Amino acid sequence: MKKLLAIAVAAGLAAPMAVMADTTVYGKLKISIGSDKAGGKSVASVKSHASRIGMKGAMPMDNGMSITHKVELGIDDIADNGKGTGTVSARDTWLGLKGNFGEVRVGRHSTPMNLASDALNIMNYGGQGTIEEGGFRVPNAIAYLKGFGPVGFAAAYVPDEDSTKKTDILDTMVNYNSNGIYAAWGHQKAKGSKATDTLSLAYTLPAGHKAGLVFNKANNGNKNTALFGRYKFGKAYVQGELSKRKDVDGSKRVIEAGYGLGKGTSAWFSLGDGDLDNADTSHARIGITSKF
């Protein structure tokens, strides 16, 4: 991780070392070229897949606690065909307080229920196509996180900020991660509506092979399941995912092969198709993922 101080010095900005020392800059670029098909029509395109850049860190205080912070921006459309329509969006952006009690964060934050399954979304393109119910990232969260050895807990209160609706959300998650075993349960309840629950299970072998599933019961009654697996051999891997919604015809399928080019960088090829609820879609793409 690159120190933000180095960037500040290169830009000629004056900043005290004690203030900047614990802040780092990071990012991920995931770019692909290929073809996407929907409704019987194909189109060639260049796409960015959840590319982002951010900075995060902690500022120690005299009382032993720390002020934590994170600012992350998503690059939604790097390739805009010269039309000037490329956009930058806000991702997790919050200020927090951390101590022996855990950590409290206030701002734009991923919902704990989303965190329960997000760690298992391993596909570069596609992936968990049915697991989208119950929220992803909210702009006004008051979140609490605490670890107990291999067990983690997170909760968030999300006010709707509208006195006429009163549909505040309470979101919780508990997970276990040790010796290759990952298990998590997420629960979300909005006032006046039914709850949404997500169960995530996975096992990772020492060689990096992985298999798992995500099951989601949404507040509208939909029951969604995604099965995935990865097999690694040297710097190469093959992985795939199948997602299905109960009582709905069809499914979504993605298969991907990739090769590590160096630290944080890989090249990959992805094929996918889906006919969930009679929506005929498919893709064929080749891409590069680079983390820094």
Q: Which residue has the higher pLDDT, 71 or 114?
A: 71
pLDDT for 124 beyond 80? no
Comparing 6-20, 28-42, 52-66, 241-255, the range with the smallest average pLDDT is: 6-20
Mean pLDDT of 92-109: 96
pLDDT at 128: 53
- CATH assignment of the domain containing 207: 2.40.160.10
Cα-based distances in Å from 64 to 36, 55, 99, 148, 223: 53, 22, 7, 19, 45
pLDDT at 276: 67
Mean pLDDT of 156-164: 80
Mean pLDDT of 204-210: 93
pLDDT at 224: 87
pLDDT at 161: 72
Q: What is the pLDDT of residues 261-286, one digit of tens each?
A: 998 999 999 998 887 666 778 889 99
Comparing 25-29, 149-153, 156-160, the range with the smallest average pLDDT is: 156-160
pLDDT at 291: 93
Q: Which residue has the higher pLDDT, 246 or 213?
A: 213
pLDDT for 131 beyond 70? no
pLDDT for 219 beyond 90? no
pLDDT for 186 beyond 60? yes
Q: What is the pLDDT of residues 45-79, one digit of tens each?
A: 888 888 899 999 999 999 999 999 999 998 865 54
Q: Find the domain containing 258 and state its range.
A: 2-291
What domain count does the chain have? 1
pLDDT at 11: 37
Mean pLDDT of 91-111: 95
